[in-house]
Structure 1
Amino acid sequence: MSTAAERYLQAAKRESTTRRYQQALAHYEVGWGGFLPASSDSIVRYLAENAELSISTLRGHLAALARWHQNHGFADPTKAPQVRDVLRGIQALHPRQVRQADPLQLQELEQCVTALQREEASPDLSVRLRAGRDRALLLLGFWRGFRSDDLCRLRIETNRLLPGEGLSLFLSSSKTDREHQGRTVSVPALKRLCPVQAYEDWLALSQLQAGPVFCSIDRWGHLAPTALHPYSVSRVLRRALTRGGVAGERYSGHSLRRGFATWATRNQWSPKDLMEYVGWRDVHTAMRYVDANEPFGDWRRAGTSESK
């Protein structure tokens, strides 16, 4: 196979998926002591002896094992009926509550942004840069309902800024973009907590003209040439919130996406509008991100409703 063909085949594979599959295969072979190619009986034993793992983790491991067998020309043992049945049995006997990130509420976002704006007046360059980056990251992530990897894929040269009006952002790929077609999304300028102004301020402060929008910053104020890793977004978010007086440990990168979905629902966005804006393909996925606003009306205690 030519070098060019290998390069394109590699490009078709998502880096995060490849990494997860490698980890899953290592868990089966090294952690559990299994052999490849595997039989359906060994897959059943593997599942039974690792029933303490979440169902989503076990499904991911099965997907990795299935891919390995397909790539190497072997029959897929994960398709056997007994494999499917034992997975159902594990789910029935070991039900688990789905853990989700807390949605970032608008009041907490505003409190954090106010603190970051104070930090942007610091005489310390590294403090100013970190505060400017974090403000832009939080506001863009919230108002566009971005995933962590979406934020990390943004590049300055493919974006278009219209100061005071809006921002056009190009996403080269995303979790739901299996064909790698990319999509362009718009961000409106807002009267407060404006993501467009935060983006403009960050570019002016950092003097960045090309490359990743969001990168790491060392203690001396040096900007890394590479983008933040998606796993780093949760840490950046928590630290920014903590500096703003918010309990940052409650949140992860998904808190921005859930926060926006909850805000939009409480502000009468229709499910269709929300799905189109954020990029969800099915309503069940969208509803997992939304905290319902129960209509208890006058029966609700004062101070427990979310401000708009």
Structure 2
Amino acid sequence: MGVAGRGLTILASADVVDAELVHGNEAGAGVAVHTERDRRLSPETIAAIEASAAASTRRAYGADREMFAAWCLHEGRTVVPASGETMAEWVRHLTVTPRPRTNRPAGPSTIERAMSAVTTWHREQGRPKPNMRGARAVLNAYRDELAEQKAQAAQTRQATAALPAQIRAMLARTDRTTLAGQRNAALVLLGFATAARVSELVALDLTAVTETEHGYEVTVYRKNVRRRTINAILYGTDPATCPVRTLRTHLAALSAAGRTDGPLFVRVDRWDRLAPRLTRGGRTIGDPAGRMTAEAAAEVIERLAATAGLSGDWSGHSLRRGFATAARAAGHDPLEIARAGGWADGSRVLARYMKDVDRVKNSPLVGIGL
């Protein structure tokens, strides 16, 4: 059984044997058995492996792995390597056990994530992936059961798409005479124009923005695909929702406040002061440069949607989904949309966005004369 540590499992000493070279019948053949040192990871390497995933993913996977390990301990089962039977029983447990926060069992998408957390846990240790056939069968039966019950959990939860009409409504009530209003407008419009996740958006520095004859170019690092995209930010037809004019106003406000380097999006307090120092118990907390957190950026989007009276499931991902939906509806090629937004090749999420648009746009009912 493994010992959990900061999202990874470090193999216990019982899994380690002394090194020896075992010669087979064939000349020169040999199999090296790993020593304890071979299987040891330094704290620095563990941190580097953990940092390769988005912070939200690390938190979710860490919680899933802790729950799995606790369940295995209670059931007397081995955590890593887990058997196919253990995985099937665990998934069944998830489908019938209410969660404290909702008092309902987890939905299929949440269980999918938990399964991925455990299988990647095995891979991180060089262990073979568990046989997931039984677990998949249990999950499929659960999906069928929820669908027959017409349960909300059977539907894949998606953020509401922030389309241009919704963005206009969100910004109509924004006071752009204030630092906060100017920042929020720039955050929404730049987030839409670059199809950025909120974590990518708040990671932007002023050096990522370059003024050009067509407006701006913004370089966004897409952590999920490990590459940078250079996004052309063009003038809009409506000054109120023009990303170029709005970004220029925000940059001018930062410059007037003495901000010529550092984060593009920074904290603004209730008194409209730029990036005041945050303290707790006399100690400075938060980013010393005042950079916004991804959670704060998402709250801006959710709050603006609520103030505008927009219904739906609004989140930080609404801008990214809105870009993909609006671009496809305007007839743009899916490959160009994927490149601009940093989606991985063959992204199932982007394909779903495309399908949502194409279902209406390419319907056989179009043009048949009803």
TM-score range, shorter chain: 0.7 to 0.9
Whether the aligned pair in 1 keeps the contact of 2:192 and 2:320 (CA below 8 Å) is yes
> Alpha carbons of 1:152 and 1:298: their partners in 2 closer, same or farther (altered >3 Å)?
farther
Tell me the equivalent position of 1:102.
160
Match of 1:41, as an amino acid?
E
Quote the offset at 1:72 in angstroms: 4.2
Quote the offset at 1:191 in angstroms: 3.1
> Of the two, which has the highest radius of gyration?
2
SS in 2 for 1:161: strand
The CA deviation string for residues 213-236 of structure 1, in whole angstroms up to 9 with x for no partner, is 223322232416243332333321
Whether the aligned pair in 2 keeps the contact of 1:238 and 1:248 (CA below 8 Å) is no
- 1:191-206 map, 5 Å: 191-192=237-238, 193-206=241-254
- Aligned with residue 214 of structure 1, among 244, 265, 268: 265
Whether the aligned pair in 2 keeps the contact of 1:156 and 1:213 (CA below 8 Å) is yes
Quote the offset at 1:194 in angstroms: 1.4
Tell me the equivalent position of 2:218.
169
CA distance in 2, matches of 1:67, 1:115: 45
The CA deviation string for residues 201-248 of structure 1, in whole angstroms up to 9 with x for no partner, is 1121133322222233222324162433323333211222344x3326
> Alpha carbons of 1:45 and 1:152: their partners in 2 closer, same or farther (altered >3 Å)?
same
SS in 2 for 1:79: coil
RMSD between aligned alpha carbons? 3.1
Tell me the equivalent position of 1:305.
none
CA distance in 1, matches of 2:348, 2:124: 32
Tell me the equivalent position of 1:223.
275
CA distance in 2, matches of 1:29, 1:70: 16
Q: Which structure 1 segments of 5+ residues have no match?
A: 122-127, 301-308
Q: Which deviates more, 38-47 or 274-283?
A: 274-283
- Aligned with residue 58 of structure 1, among 95, 98, 111: 111
- 1:10-159 map, 5 Å: 10-30=50-70, 33=74, 36-37=79-80, 38-51=82-95, 52-72=105-125, 74-76=127-129, 78-95=130-147, 96-116=154-174, 119-121=175-177, 128-159=178-209
CA distance in 2, matches of 1:3, 1:99: 36
Q: TM (normalized to structure 2)?
A: 0.66
Quote the offset at 1:198 in angstroms: 1.2
The CA deviation string for residues 16-72 of structure 1, in whole angstroms up to 9 with x for no partner, is 332222110122234784552344333221111211322222222122222333444
Tell me the equivalent position of 1:125.
none
Match of 1:27, as an amino acid?
M
The CA deviation string for residues 86-124 of structure 1, in whole angstroms up to 9 with x for no partner, is 3333333334122222222322322332332xx123xxx
Whether the aligned pair in 1 keeps the contact of 2:207 and 2:261 (CA below 8 Å) is yes
The CA deviation string for residues 151-202 of structure 1, in whole angstroms up to 9 with x for no partner, is 122111232123x632111223332x1xx33232221122322112211211
Quote the offset at 1:75 in angstroms: 4.8
> Alpha carbons of 1:298 and 1:9: their partners in 2 closer, same or farther (altered >3 Å)?
closer
CA distance in 2, matches of 1:218, 1:111: 24
The CA deviation string for residues 267-305 of structure 1, in whole angstroms up to 9 with x for no partner, is 2323333333333323753242254345767999xxxxx
Whether the aligned pair in 2 keeps the contact of 1:234 and 1:253 (CA below 8 Å) is yes
Tell me the equivalent position of 1:182.
228
Whether the aligned pair in 2 keeps the contact of 1:152 and 1:214 (CA below 8 Å) is yes
Whether the aligned pair in 1 keeps the contact of 2:88 and 2:132 (CA below 8 Å) is no
Match of 2:242, as an amino acid?
C
Quote the offset at 1:148 in angstroms: 2.0
Name the structure where helix makes up a greater proportion of residues.
1
**Equivalent pairs, count:** 286
Tell me the equivalent position of 1:234.
298
Quote the offset at 1:73 in angstroms: 5.4
CA distance in 2, matches of 1:157, 1:194: 21
SS in 2 for 1:86: helix
CA distance in 1, matches of 2:333, 2:125: 47
Quote the offset at 1:2 in angstroms: 6.8
Tell me the equivalent position of 1:260.
323
Q: Which deviates more, 204-213 or 288-297?
A: 288-297
Q: TM (normalized to structure 1)?
A: 0.78
